[in-house]
Structure 1
Amino acid sequence: MAEPSPTLSAVLPPVMTCGEPSGVGPEIAARIHAEHGASLPFAWIGDPAHLPPGTGIVEIARPAEAPEAARDGLPVLPTPFPKPAVPGTPDPANAAGVIEVIARAVDLARTGAAGAIVTAPINKKALKDGAGFAYPGHTEYLAALAGVERVVMMLACDALRVVPVTIHIALEDVPAALTEDLLSETIRITARAMARDFGIAHPRLAVAGLNPHAGEGGTMGRQEGEMIAPLLERLCAEGFALSGPLPADTMFHPEARARYDAALCMYHDQALIPIKTLDFARGVNVTLGLPFIRTSPDHGTAFDIAGKGIADIRSTVEALRMAVRMAQARAEA
Structure 2
Amino acid sequence: MIAAIGNSSDRRPIVALAMGDPAGISPELAAKLVDSKTVAAAARLVVIGDRRILEDGARIAGVTLDIEEVESDVIGAADSPVLIDLRNLEPADVSIGEATPAGGRFAVENFTLALTLAHAGKVAAVCYTPFNKKAMRFAHPGYDDESRFISKLLRLDGRVREFNVLDTVWNARVTSHIPLKDVAASLSKEAILAEIGLTVDCLKRSGITGPRLLVAGLNPHAGDGGSFGMEEIDIIGPAIEAAAAQGFDVSGPHPADTVFLTARAGGYHAVLTMYHDQGQIAMKLMGFDRGVTMLGGLPFPVCTPAHGTAYDIAGKGIANPRASEEAILLATRMAVSVPT
- With the shorter chain as reference, the TM-score category is 0.7 to 0.9
- Please report how far the alpha carbon of residue 69 of structure 1 lies from its aligned counterpart in structure 2 after TM superposition: 2.8
Partner deviation per Cα, 1:71-115 (whole Å, 9 max, x = no partner): xxxx21111115323433444245434322212111211222112
1:223-242 mapped onto 2 (5 Å cutoff): 223-242=231-250
Residues 202-257 of structure 1: per-residue CA shift (max 9 Å, x gap) = 42221111122222211222111111111221222222222111222332226754
Q: Does residue 172 of the first structure (1) align with residue 181 of the second (2)? A: yes
Q: Which residue of 2 is the match for residue 64 of structure 1?
A: 76
Cα 1:172–1:90, aligned 2, differ >3 Å: closer, same or farther? Answer: closer
Give yes or no for the alignment of 1:135 onto 2:143: yes
CA contact (8 A) 2:34 2:65 kept: no
Aligned pairs (5 A) from 1:163-202: 163-195=172-204, 197-202=205-210
Across the aligned residues of Structure 1 and Structure 2, the Cα RMSD in angstroms comes to 2.4
Q: Secondary structure at the match of 1:156?
A: strand
The equivalent residue for 1:22 is 23
TM alignment of 1:261-276, pairs within 5 A: 261-276=269-284
Aligned to 2:3: none
CA contact (8 A) 1:15 1:63 kept: no
Note closer, same or farther for the CA distance 1:16–1:255 as it changes in structure 2 (3 Å cut). Answer: closer
The question of 1:38 aligning with 2:48 is answered no
Q: Which amino acid aligns with 1:76?
A: L
Q: Which amino acid aligns with 2:24?
A: G
Aligned residue runs from structure 1 range 112-123, under 5 A: 112-123=121-132
Contact 1:12/1:113 (CA < 8 Å) preserved in 2? no
Question: Which residue of the other structure, out of 298, 311, 314, is the alignment partner of 2:319?
Answer: 311
1:155 corresponds, among 164, 167, 171, to: 164
Rounded to whole Å, the distance in 2 between the matches of 1:99 and 1:263 is: 31
3-state secondary structure, aligned to 1:285: strand
Q: Secondary structure at the match of 1:96?
A: helix
Out of 74, 84, 106, the residue aligned to residue 77 of structure 1 is 84
Partners in 1 of 2:335 and 2:242 — Cα distance?
A: 32
Per the normalisation by structure 2, the TM-score is: 0.85
Cα displacement (A) at 1:285? 0.2
2:5: which partner in 1? none
Contact 2:143 2:149 in 1 (8 A): yes
SS at match of 1:218: coil
Taking the aligned partners of 1:93 and 1:320, their CA distance within structure 2 comes to: 26
**Which moved further from structure 2: 210-219 or 281-290?**
210-219
Specify the alignment match of 1:209 in structure 2: 217
C-alpha separation in 2, matches of 1:28 and 1:279: 18
| Mapped contact 2:21–2:107 kept (Cα < 8 A) | yes
Structure 1 CA distance for aligned equivalents of residues 306 and 75 of structure 2? 24
Cα distance, 1:298–1:256 mapped onto 2, change above 3 Å: closer
Structure 1 unaligned residues grouped into runs of 5+:
1-7
Equivalent-residue separation in structure 1 for 2:206 and 2:88 (angstroms): 36
1:2-13 correspondence runs (5 A): 10-13=11-14
In structure 2, what is the Cα distance between the partners aligned to 1:15 and 1:63?
10
Structure 1 residue 48 corresponds to structure 2 residue 51: yes
Aligned length: 318
Q: Secondary structure at the match of 2:164?
A: strand
Give me the whole-angstrom Cα distance separating, in 1, the residues matched to 2:107 and 2:257.
40
Given that residues 48 and 85 in structure 2 are in contact (C-alpha distance below 8 angstroms), is that contact kept between their aligned partners in structure 1? Answer: yes
Sequence identity percentage: 37
Deviation digits for residues 127-179 of structure 1 (CA, Å, limit 9, x no counterpart)? 222x3432212232112223134222111021411112222334333211223
Q: CA deviation at 1:269?
A: 2.4
Deviation at 1:31, TM superposition (A): 1.7
Q: Which moved more, 1:275-284 or 1:200-209?
A: 200-209
| C-alpha distance in 1 between matches for 2:129 and 2:141 | 17
Quick one: structure 1 residues 304 and 279, their matched pair in 2 at CA, closer, same or farther if it must change by over 3 Å? closer
Structure 2 unmatched runs, 5+: 1-8
Q: Is the 8 A contact 1:152 1:190 kept in 2?
A: no
Partner deviation per Cα, 1:39-76 (whole Å, 9 max, x = no partner): 3541110010112246432213344245x234xxxx21
| Cα distance in 1 between the residues matched to 2:66 and 2:49 | 14
CA shift in 2, pair 1:91/1:212, >3 Å: closer
CA distance in 2, matches of 1:56, 1:315: 23
Q: Is the 8 A contact 1:47 1:78 kept in 2?
A: yes
